[in-house]
Amino acid sequence: MTRVLVPVADGSEEIEVVTIVDVLRRADAEVALASVMKTLRITASRGVIIEADCHIDSCVGIHWDLIALPGGMPGAEHLHTCAVLKDLLANQLSSGFWLGAICASPAVVLGRQGLISDYRATCHSAFVDELGAAVRELSDELVVRDRNLITSQAPGTAMNFALALVCCLFGEDTAQSVAEPMRATLN
């Protein structure tokens, strides 16, 4: 079973959270939605209440095929300050397993932690200066894949991002079979 960790926090962008989880579960990934807050119940960036499956502390010592970070503010700030998550992210990249980040998270989480200085990446337009100083190359593409890192720009690119994650984990045929009934297209 392919295992995916999606960390969430108060202020995470709900479109990104739900799209990532939904699309990966349609591909039959085992997705754990993990709160980095004190409670499992988080209030997303637009006031939507999301109930996480578990707390981030229970995710240590588990092999994750992918860790996918939603953006949103101050959600990305909360993800950035979580020491447990920081260790998981550093291990994920150094082990060569997939890491995804969208919206503010490429800059606020990965860039500030110095994890992606040798990568090409993209992010939300509000964070391009910060990300540009933290990566090898800043891209204006909607979704960017560089080795084991996939980044994307904003809530409007969440479907493209989620399908790119499926493509990396399961291949293009599976991504196409997930996209087709939703009338989504692969980039």
Please check the confidence at residue 187 and state whether its pLDDT lies above 80: no
pLDDT in tens, 131-171: 999 999 999 999 999 999 999 999 999 999 999 999 999 99
Residue ranges per structural domain of the chain: 3-182
Average pLDDT, the chain: 97
Please check the confidence at residue 185 and state whether its pLDDT lies above 90: no
Give the residue from 115, 24, 35, 126 showing the smallest Cα distance to 72.
126
CATH topology assigned to domain 3-182: Rossmann fold (3.40.50)
Give the residue from 97, 93, 102, 99 showing the smallest Cα distance to 143.
102
Residues 111 and 142: their CA atoms lie apart, in Å, by 18
Catalytically annotated residues: 103
Q: Percent of the chain at pLDDT above 90?
A: 97
Residue 112 CB-density burial (10 A; 0-12 exposed, 13-18 middle, 19+ buried): middle
| The pLDDT value given to residue 40 | 98
pLDDT in tens, 90-112: 999 999 999 999 999 999 999 99
